[in-house]
Amino acid sequence: MTNNYQEKMSLYSETYRPQFHFTPKEKWLNDPNGMVYFEGEYHLFFQYHPHGTTWGPMHWGHAVSHDLLHWEELPIALYPDEHGAIFSGSCVVDWKNTTGFFEKGNGGLVAIYTNADTYPESDRPRQRQSLAYSHDNGRTWETYEGNPVLSDEDITDYRDPKVFWHVESERWVMVLATGQTITIYTSPNLIDWEFASEFGQNEGAHFGVWECPDLFPLMVDGNPDHMKWVMLVSIGDNPDFKEGSRTQYFVGEFDGKTFLNHHDADAILWLDHGRDNYAGVSWSDIPEENGRRIYLGWMNNWRYANQVPTETWRGAMTLPRELTLISTAGGVQLLQKPVSEIHSIRKESKVTKVIELTEEAYLVEGNHELMEVNLVVTLEAAKEFNLAIHHSSEEKTNIRYNRITHLLSVDRTQSGEIGFSESFPAISECPVALMDDTLSLQLFLDSSSLEVFAEGGRGALTNLIFPRGINHTLSLTAIGGGAQVEELSVTELSSIWEKGVCAYE
């Protein structure tokens, strides 16, 4: 007989179990789905295989949170049905009851997702869009009797609907991944859909199948009179490219039917330069008075997602991040920062000011298993700045800034367990231009991930790491000349599951 108490105590404390990122109690997770805010709760649904720790027949798992950090996992929301498995999709609040699914009042939650099966007597995949609705804040769901509501026999990869209410045209808008383009549909009621336009041919990167789009407006430089629309598009794994699956974005305008890219058609804008941030989309229906656009991705890569060395569960989400737009010399770009709610897991900080760096390592010892590091360093004569996180005497992850190439890199080739996939031991690189030769970095180190944000979120590198050692020591060096750390703060972070386990009791 299992010892119930022990089982509960060890849940969320397994080797490599993320302590401040969402993971399911057990089994396989991939894309975030149906992210919506409704009646005080942030909902996070996710691609879920409850019968295994590798990808399989997809369900929608479900968790809720009040602060985007502490999650309570709820029972599975959607199960495979007569139309197939439940692939990625979105949720909206049907405030005006345009569907007629709700009695009256404030409407309720509607999920729009892809049903995936195969054509009759054929192996050819069939992907069609369906609806489900909930009368009890997402706890239980009914599928719509008229499912599927949108299909196209010519297009095989036809999935991942993200839907939002377009105020000016008073219509629902759906962005749908259709092969290597995004097709836009509109609807008065989420049930009847009409083709509006297609975006993406000869635009951006086409290294793999396009998946999981999102489309939303943001202010540029915080100016409400200067709005632009952002389109996110994830690109599936292609063995010819070492990066595996990754996410690009476009910035432009949208009139309710057509998206116009404002960057050059061949410009490629990566959302994150690390290897492990995929299929991310943003929360729907965050109240206007809050006004944030909050994003979260699957912290993994299709290249090796089925092999990462965790046992009882597999798959985690990134930290939730607030997205904003800023204008730069290269055009308008996305900026991402962990949400401010992160303060709730901060413990004490140790702040050190003015450290002169040379080629001899400056060591910061006695660090924490879970930590945030904030650092501002002026490069002075240095050609390179190096911050190594030593997990043990044999394992380290290196963060390096090269002043000549202007590349910030994260090297996980010696970060711990790396042998489960040839593609895993990698160095990821992000271009970062500096102002006044000063670099600012914010790092979040969890049991099996490192998220690096540079220059207030202009650059992001999200990477999984599997260090066996957890006695982290930081070592800082300047190469080819001196550098000065203006400020270094190391903050211990607490586990989100202290609460999670209580909720589980």
Please report, as ranges, the residues that interact with ligand FRU according to CB under 6 A. 30-31, 47, 58, 87-88, 114, 159-160, 211-212, 279
Q: Closer to ligand FRU by CB, 108 or 244: give it.
A: 244
What are the respective helix, strand and coil percentages of the chain, to the nearest 5? 5, 50, 45
- DSSP notation for 278-308: EEEEE-B---TTT---EEEEESS-TTTGGG-
214 given a catalytic annotation: no
Distance CA 139, CA 77 (A): 7
Q: How far is the CB of 211 from ligand FRU (least distance, A)?
A: 4
Q: Which is nearer to ligand FRU, 88 or 180 (by Cβ)? A: 88
User: In the complex, what is the shortest distance from the CB of residue 277 to ligand FRU, in angstroms, rounded to a whole number?
Assistant: 12
Nearer Cβ to ligand FRU, position 12 or 207?
207
Q: In terms of Cα–Cα distance, which of 329, 396, 388, 392 is closest to 363? A: 388
Give CA 98 to chain center in angstroms. 30
Give whichever of 88 and 333 is closer to ligand FRU, judged by the CB atom: 88
Catalytic residue among 31, 94, 160, 237: 31
Report the C-alpha gap between 91 and 35 in whole angstroms.
6
Of 297, 285, 146, the residue nearest 232 (C-alpha): 297
Angle at 129 between CA 127 and CA 130, to 5 degrees: 125
Q: What is the DSSP letter of 244?
A: -
Distance of CA 104 to the CA centre of its chain: 35
How big is the chain, counted in residues? 505
As measured in angstroms, the least distance from the Cβ of 234 to ligand FRU is 6
Question: Shortest gap between Cβ of 437 and ligand FRU (angstroms)?
Answer: 40
* Minimum gap (Å) between residue 114 Cβ and ligand FRU: 6
What is the dihedral sign for C-alpha 6, 60, 321, 414?
positive
Nearer to ligand FRU, 57 or 217 (CB): 57
Would you please indicate which residues are annotated as catalytic (active-site) residues?
31
